[in-house]
């Protein structure tokens, strides 16, 4: 039975932080039964918001919650592993796929580790799959929208970041192909970085019912975990489905395009506006997707609080992948894509 993650309300978090000031963060975290990095995150939030706002803060609850491993999934995984004890998680998953059973590699890892599997080298700790990812590039979604330009049928492929709703890449093609999908994803990876997981439906370019297609092989080679939406369950791809409806209603139903080139140019303009100018209700109603994706949320919200006109500013956002700062107390703050990683150190010059 999987141990449920301990949850704390804001008042309890404050108590742990205050205890940490007395006995040290690591010691207080151990007493509370959480990681020290979690307490540091709480402390950063307290310093940013102030005590009153910190206590009044209501964390967003993930919609999909903790992914439940079914009894049948566990039996299928263990059966393959028993028959092939030398297999690792990737091989078990591939063998299951050959049997027509699709289970994510994260689920396979969890089951094998619960039965004593030890990786030959240190692996990244499995994370819970949430309806909303906790950081940029943790999870992406991709879908294909069918559209007509005059009498020409085209397909719009959209790849978005789950956390920020930022459009990582798009493509308009007259025919869908595995090559075009690989190119789209690869260009996004080269420009913005590799996503941890990619969620798609089971369309033929994304998924093969007989073996593994070249797109799946590309993802596996790139180290991107491929997650498939359940058949006949479009809600799983809710964010990109909502984007499909938005681009249809705001662009294609409002304009007449004279050619494919005309449509491409207008879609490019629309994507630019959507990414960097349009406030998105799904991320609080004030931020544009690009601001959240590029780690600019705090700066933008501070400017809005001060009454500054964000739309009058230059739309170009410099993506600060890595910044390093030294705090007055000697701690080193490493910020990766807007997320703080704090290292405790001596106060040496």
| Domain range summary for the chain, segments of one domain joined by + | 1-59, 75-128, 139-283, 319-349
Looking at residues 156-163, what average pLDDT do you find?
Answer: 95
Looking at residues 212-218, what average pLDDT do you find?
Answer: 89
Looking at residues 173-199, what average pLDDT do you find?
Answer: 94
Nearest alpha carbon to residue 174 among 266, 260, 252: 260
Q: What is the pLDDT of residues 69-99, one digit of tens each?
A: 788 888 888 988 887 676 788 767 776 765 6
Looking at residues 124-133, what average pLDDT do you find?
Answer: 54
Whether 66 shows a pLDDT value over 60: the answer reads: no
Token pair for 140: 């992406």
CB atoms within 10 A of CB 184: 19
Q: What pLDDT was estimated at residue 312?
A: 55
Q: What pLDDT was estimated at residue 332?
A: 60
Q: What is the dihedral of CA 50, 51, 52, 54, to 10 degrees?
A: 80
Superfamily (CATH H level) for 139-283: Ribonuclease H-like superfamily/Ribonuclease H (3.30.420.10)
Q: What is the pLDDT of residues 139-153, one digit of tens each?
A: 999 999 999 988 899
Looking at residues 105-111, what average pLDDT do you find?
Answer: 84
Whether 125 shows a pLDDT value over 70: the answer reads: no
Helix axes 238-247, 260-276, angle to 10 degrees: 120
Q: What pLDDT was estimated at residue 129?
A: 43
Measure the CA–CA gap between 10 and 24, rounded to whole angstroms: 19
Binned at pLDDT 50, 70 and 90, residue 212 comes out as: confident
Q: What pLDDT was estimated at residue 64?
A: 47
Render 79-101 in DSSP notation, one character per residue. HHHHH-TT--HHHHHHHHHHTT-
Binned at pLDDT 50, 70 and 90, residue 343 comes out as: low
Q: What is the pLDDT of residues 325-342, one digit of tens each?
A: 445 566 665 545 444 555
Binned at pLDDT 50, 70 and 90, residue 253 comes out as: confident
Q: What pLDDT was estimated at residue 347?
A: 44
Q: What is the mean pLDDT of the chain?
A: 80
Q: What pLDDT was estimated at residue 100?
A: 64
Q: What pLDDT was estimated at residue 195?
A: 94
Render 220-266 in DSSP notation, one character per residue. HHHT-EEEEPPTT-GGGGHHHHHHHHHHIIIIITT---SSHHHHHHH
Measure the CA–CA gap between 255 and 261, rounded to whole angstroms: 14
Who has greater pLDDT, 141 or 103?
A: 141
Whether 123 shows a pLDDT value over 60: the answer reads: no
Looking at residues 191-201, what average pLDDT do you find?
Answer: 93
Who has greater pLDDT, 224 or 96?
A: 224
Binned at pLDDT 50, 70 and 90, residue 311 comes out as: low
């Amino acid at each position: 039975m999987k141990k449920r993650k301990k949850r704390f309300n804001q008042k309890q978090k404050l108590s742990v932080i205050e205890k940490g000031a007395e006995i040290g963060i690591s010691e207080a975290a151990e007493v509370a039964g959480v990681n020290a990095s979690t307490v540091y995150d709480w402390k950063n939030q307290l310093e940013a918001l102030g005590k009153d706002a910190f206590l009044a803060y209501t964390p967003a609850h993930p919609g999909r919650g903790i992914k439940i491993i079914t009894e049948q999934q566990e039996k299928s995984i263990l059966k393959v592993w028993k028959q092939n004890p030398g297999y690792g998680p990737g091989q078990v998953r591939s063998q299951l796929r050959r049997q027509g059973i699709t289970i994510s590699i994260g689920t396979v890892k969890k089951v094998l580790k619960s039965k004593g599997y030890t990786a030959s080298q240190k692996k990244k700790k499995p994370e819970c799959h949430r309806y909303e990812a906790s950081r940029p590039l943790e999870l992406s979604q991709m879908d294909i929208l069918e559209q007509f330009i005059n009498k020409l049928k085209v397909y719009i492929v959209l790849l978005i970041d789950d956390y920020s709703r930022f459009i990582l890449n798009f493509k308009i093609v007259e025919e869908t192909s595995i090559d075009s999908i690989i190119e789209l994803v690869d260009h996004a990876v080269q420009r913005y970085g590799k996503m941890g997981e990619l969620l798609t439906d089971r369309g033929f370019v994304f998924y093969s019912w007989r073996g593994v297609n070249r797109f799946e092989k590309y993802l596996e080679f790139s180290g991107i975990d491929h997650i498939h939406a359940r058949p006949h369950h479009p809600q799983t791809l809710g964010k990109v489905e909502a984007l499909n409806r938005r681009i249809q209603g705001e662009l294609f139903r409002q304009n007449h395009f004279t050619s494919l080139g005309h449509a491409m140019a207008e879609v490019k303009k629309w994507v630019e506006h959507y990414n960097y100018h349009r406030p998105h209700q799904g991320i609080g109603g004030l931020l544009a997707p690009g601001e959240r994706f590029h780690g600019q949320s705090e700066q933008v919200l501070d400017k809005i609080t001060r009454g500054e006109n964000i739309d009058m500013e230059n739309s170009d956002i410099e993506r600060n992948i890595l910044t390093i700062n030294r705090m007055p107390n000697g701690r080193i703050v490493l910020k990766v894509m807007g997320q703080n990683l704090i290292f405790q150190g001596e106060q040496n010059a």
